[in-house]
Chain A
Amino acid sequence: MQRKAVALVSGGLDSMLAVKVIQEQGIHVEGINFFTGFCVEGHTHAIRKRDRKKPKRNNALWVAEQLGIKLHIIDIVEEYKEVVFNPKYGYGAHLNPCLDCKIFMVKKAKEWMEAHGFDFIITGEVVGQRPKSQRKDTLPVVQRDSGIGDLLLRPLCAKNLPPTLPEREGWVDRERLYDFSGRSRKPQMALARKFSIEDYAQPAGGCCFLTDEQYSVKLADLWRARGGKQYEMDDIMLLKVGRHIRPAPHFKLIVSREEGEGRFLQGYRGRYPSLKTVSHAGPLALIDGEVSEEELALAARIVARYSQGKNAPEVELEYRDTEGNTRTLKVPPLPPHELNPEWML
């Protein structure tokens, strides 16, 4: 009887190798990839014009195609919020709940495995590698808290861990698994060469925006402004775009940095009032929060400061409310020394 394994496929090298190692043992493998909303993959490529020259492939799909396996992409945006808001094991250096995230994903993969008649789960985890979900003391926590127990096999470091059920039952040969450990990437690169894998993604700083300091600062600011931990899909996408400037606790501006971002922000003009320079080429800005006339004038001066009229005595802007009603504002651009650095998120 051919055994079936479901692999957590991120699009990186480790999960790719883990699949390959298990495929070599005659196991049928299919991939599963979770979309949390914070995935670096995709989004910014679509938004920023300067990124458009880069290939826009989705690495998880690309990896699946190279391996000849099916890939199931699962939208977990709503359920994932609880992981972000209340991680049992806390956050990492920023707002990254890495250990809770891994537990959650393995738990979801277990549900999928049971619903589809698969036998076990594989991941590309390596003991001692970043992030903290891959420490020697946290690997068993993932197994325990997800409820997967010894049906979770980590082919790249299995020999450093107690034998799992697939090994004990002889579904896979433990001797043909690996004993990688630590942060060195050399064993993975050597194994990639052995499998003639030459092209693979090397994500810098992880595949999740929550590991990014700047992003986490903006998310924490959003929670402060909203009076609690909450977000919608649009919120977390907008945190990836533009300059975020908060001149007062009750409102902030999202100012496009280039044409691609401007086009993207235009799609939100039905949800947020906006400002656009008209006398000079310049950015589009969304206003998140209620503003007084005086604050609107300040917002316009800030936006003007990022236009080509920044040194002009006066810049004309169009204010547009969410209904599409417009009016014109004429303001002197804010001089650099009046732009409080603390406003910049």
Chain B
Amino acid sequence: MAEGSAVTREILDCRRLLCPMPVIRVQDKVAELHPGDELEAISTDPGALNDIPAWCRINGHQVLEAKERDGEYIVRIRVGSEP
């Protein structure tokens, strides 16, 4: 990423979706983003707390945070550099 270029930070609403739909939404969104961009996925299915990080690990994206907040499950990721 070129120095000084803006990092996109997006929020993805995956509430009420059941796994694997949150993973599919994250996967499709990441395809539109660039390396270094950040994405925060908010889900209500607790499975997302395992599945989104697993998807990130195998596809080369960094998990910055995965936590429960007020009954919702937040996974924050940074898009990796692999194609």
Q: Which A residues fall within an 8 A CB radius of B?
A: 33, 35, 39, 41-43, 45-47, 52, 55-58, 60-62, 64-65, 68-75, 237, 267
CB-contact partner of A41 in B20, B45, B58, under 8 A: B20
The reply to whether B54 and A57 form a contact with Cβ atoms under 8 Å apart is yes
A37 to chain B, nearest CB (A): 9
CB-contact partner of B47 in A46, A64, A69, A70, under 8 A: A46
The reply to whether A35 and B21 form a contact with Cβ atoms under 8 Å apart is yes
Distance A71 CA – B20 CA, assembled complex (angstroms): 12
User: A52-B46, A58-B51, A72-B27 in contact; A43/B19 too (CB < 8 A)?
Assistant: yes
The reply to whether A58 and B19 form a contact with Cβ atoms under 8 Å apart is yes
B40 to chain A, nearest CB (A): 20
Q: 18 A-B pairs, CB-CB below 8 angstroms? A: A39-B20, A41-B20, A42-B19, A42-B47, A45-B47, A46-B18, A46-B46, A56-B46, A58-B20, A58-B47, A60-B20, A61-B20, A65-B57, A65-B58, A70-B59, A73-B23, A74-B24, A75-B24
Closest to A66 in B: B58
B29 within 8 A of A: no
Q: Chain B interface: which size bin?
A: 10 to 19
Find residues 12-53 in chain B having any chain A CB closer than 8 Å to their own CB.
16, 18-21, 23-24, 27, 45-47, 49-51
Closest to B57 in A: A65
User: A35-B24, A46-B45, A58-B47 in contact; A71/B55 too (CB < 8 A)?
Assistant: yes
Determine the main DSSP class of A at the interface with B.
Answer: mixed
The reply to whether A61 and B23 form a contact with Cβ atoms under 8 Å apart is yes
The reply to whether B58 and A70 form a contact with Cβ atoms under 8 Å apart is yes
5 closest Cβ contacts across the A-B interface?
A: A42-B19, A56-B47, A46-B45, A61-B54, A58-B51
Distance A307 CA – B3 CA, assembled complex (angstroms): 63
Distance A74 CA – B55 CA, assembled complex (angstroms): 13
B32 to chain A, nearest CB (A): 15
Distance A56 CA – B27 CA, assembled complex (angstroms): 19
The reply to whether B46 and A61 form a contact with Cβ atoms under 8 Å apart is no
User: A42-B18, A46-B18, A267-B16 in contact; A62/B54 too (CB < 8 A)?
Assistant: yes
Neighbouring B residues of A35 by C-beta, 8 Å: 20-21, 24
Neighbouring B residues of A58 by C-beta, 8 Å: 19-20, 23, 47, 50-51, 54
Distance A237 CA – B59 CA, assembled complex (angstroms): 28
